[in-house]
Amino acid sequence: MFIVVGERINTSRKKVQEAVANKDIQYIKDDVTRQQAAGAHYIDVNAGARIGHEKEDMEWLLKIIQETVTIPLCLDSPDPEILEMAYGMVKDRPMINSISLEKERYEAMAPFLKGKDCNVVALCMDDTGMPKNFEDVIERAKRLVKGLEDIAIDRESIFIDPLIQPISVDTSKGIMAIDSVSGIMKELPGVHTICGLSNISYGLPQRKIINRTFLSLLMYAGLDAAIIDPLDDKIMAALKTTEMLMGNDDYCVKYLKGVRAGQIVF
């Protein structure tokens, strides 16, 4: 099953920030209800944009969201103290977003993650910056998996993000990401791969068609999770159609259901 992490509840988005600042419960409830109905498996919750208010905003959001939807949450913060508070509030096994190989971040996050029952997003970033090639990604992915296994996080709970980079800057970045996903899934059996798609189209027109096409290519390479907007009908249609074409939809049931529901249209 391809895992969709709904990205919309992020206070860097103007409407979400306004809703949080104004304690607009109905706006948040409506949004997460729609995300779940559209097929999200997790709701990502990021409350970091209002400087000095992250703890209270995260606490408020978690309370409202868990009263509203039945799917688990992806707790999104670089601050272990915020994550510790949030972990204590969640009803269902969460996803934690994220750890990386950057020394300061790794040393802060690893003690928090040790002993936790959760999925973990692990970014292929270290103190030298973004990976420059496929080999960088694979080497970093291996270090991340070893480090997380050393603190008792099993492979099935690890979601490696190879870090998508803009193709407008370097036209090799698309194939680099595709090869990276394929390589991670082959060389580290049992792990998952995840990414946000939008960086690939940065700086180019008609970004949504680029993102949709790229998602299909990554899925064929082995990508099994993505942080996306589940209310984007066309990207969800591309996801369902790709799953069918890859043989992951017995008798095309999910595809046909999507067509009948008006979720897959030309």
Between CA 195 and CA 215 the distance in angstroms is 10
Q: For position 94, what pLDDT does the model report?
A: 98
Between CA 98 and CA 250 the distance in angstroms is 34
Between CA 252 and CA 250 the distance in angstroms is 5
The alpha carbon torsion through 144, 145, 149, 150 (nearest 10 deg) reads -40
Between CA 227 and CA 215 the distance in angstroms is 11
266 pLDDT above the threshold of 80: no
Q: For position 89, what pLDDT does the model report?
A: 98
Q: For position 48, what pLDDT does the model report?
A: 95
Q: Give the global pTM.
A: 0.96
Largest Cα separation within the chain, whole Å, is 51
User: pLDDT (tens digit, 9 = 90+) per residue, 142-191?
Assistant: 999 999 999 999 999 999 999 999 999 999 999 999 999 999 999 999 99
265 pLDDT above the threshold of 90: no
Q: Residue 216 — pLDDT band, cuts 50, 70, 90?
A: very high
Q: What average pLDDT score do residues 4-27 get?
A: 97
256 pLDDT above the threshold of 90: yes
264 pLDDT above the threshold of 90: no
- From the list 226, 117, 132, 207, the residue with the least C-alpha distance to 176 is 132
Q: What average pLDDT score do residues 123-136 get?
A: 97
Between CA 233 and CA 92 the distance in angstroms is 27
User: pLDDT (tens digit, 9 = 90+) per residue, 48-100?
Assistant: 999 999 999 999 999 999 999 999 999 999 999 999 999 999 999 999 999 99
Q: Is the peptide bond before 98 cis (omega within 30 degrees of 0)?
A: yes
Between CA 141 and CA 222 the distance in angstroms is 15
Q: What average pLDDT score do residues 23-30 get?
A: 98
Q: For position 22, what pLDDT does the model report?
A: 97
Query: What are φ and ψ of residue 118, in 5° steps?
Result: -160, 165
SS (H, E, C) 146-180: HHHHHCCCCHHHEEEECCCCCCCCCCCHHHHHHHH
Name 107's Cβ contacts closer than 8 Å, sequence gap at least 6.
none
Q: For position 91, what pLDDT does the model report?
A: 95
Q: For position 71, what pLDDT does the model report?
A: 98
Helix (H) / strand (E) containing 264:
none
